[in-house]
Amino acid sequence: MRLLRFAFLLVAAPLAAQVSGPPDSAPSPAPASTPAPLPRSQSTLATPLYGFTGGITIPIGRLADDHSAGYELGGLVEYAVAGQPYSLRGELIYQRFPLKSGRSGIGLKDANLVSFGTTVVYRMQKSTTQTFVVGGIGIYNATGDGTRPGFNGGTGVEIPLTGFAALAELRLHLMLADAKPVMAIPLTVGLRF
């Protein structure tokens, strides 16, 4: 309980100070002709956007035979061309799938799927809330299958907020392997700033 109160104070104090402003200064009204600044939803070529994601991931195909739904954590760096609907994103993603209860045997254990790759993001329309499609290639490493190439594709929505953007994505990750491919569907949410 103390940790929860401390975390609340750690977050609430800077927010309260930012909202109230400096104690000795009176708020100065902005000129009527000055529009409010837009949220930073795209980078310039010199300034990348950074972000992180997290959510649930569902194994499909042969991975689902022995493993249940797990979690996904990821980090991203995105470069966009101002005024264009596309951007290039570099990603590092970690997915963990626990072994199904009641499953045991030689070589059966929790599975990890780690990927590092590039993804193209194409925004469908210019509006406050933007939908987008993504597709990319990468290097994947799966427990028991080694390191192989793979690709991913999916869709998502981006909601620009003040100074950052909230993301929600649904994708299919497919790692090419000697036998059947290793596949997973992560459903993630994240922030980009």
β-pairing verdict for 182-192 and 49-60: antiparallel
Domain count, the chain: 1
Share of the chain above pLDDT 90, in %: 64
Whether 10 maps to a domain, the answer reads no
Report the distance separating Cα 126 and Cα 131, nearest Å.
Answer: 9
Q: Which amino acid is at 100?
A: K
Whether 49 maps to a domain, the answer reads yes
Q: Which amino acid is at 93?
A: I
Whether 91 maps to a domain, the answer reads yes
pLDDT of residue 46: 66
Mark residue 192 as left, alpha or beta (left: phi above 0; alpha: psi -120 to 50; beta: remaining).
beta
Within a 13 Å sphere around the CA of 140, how many CA atoms are in the beta-carbon half? 24
Is 190 in a helix, a strand, or coil?
strand
Residue 153 has pLDDT above 90, yes or no: yes
Report the distance separating Cα 60 and Cα 183, nearest Å.
Answer: 6
Query: What CATH number is attached to the domain comprising 100?
Result: 2.40.160.20
Averaged confidence pLDDT in the chain: 83
Whether 20 maps to a domain, the answer reads no
Q: Are 152 and 171 in contact (CB under 8 A)?
A: yes
Q: Which amino acid is at 109?
A: K
Give the contacts of 87 (CB within 8 A, at least 6 positions apart).
42, 43, 78, 79, 80, 81, 120, 121, 123
Whether 88 maps to a domain, the answer reads yes
Confidence of residue 53 (pLDDT cuts 50, 70, 90): very high
Per-residue pLDDT of 109-127, as tens digits, reads: 999 999 999 999 999 987 8
Per-residue pLDDT of 3-49, as tens digits, reads: 344 444 444 444 444 444 444 544 555 555 544 444 455 555 668 99
Look up residue 98 and give its two tokens. 């626990």
Backbone angles phi, psi at 101, to 5 degrees: -65, 140
Report the distance separating Cα 42 and Cα 136, nearest Å.
Answer: 19
Lowest mean pLDDT among 33-47, 114-128, 135-149, 161-175: 33-47
- Structural domain boundaries, residue 108: 40-192
Report the distance separating Cα 167 and Cα 164, nearest Å.
Answer: 10
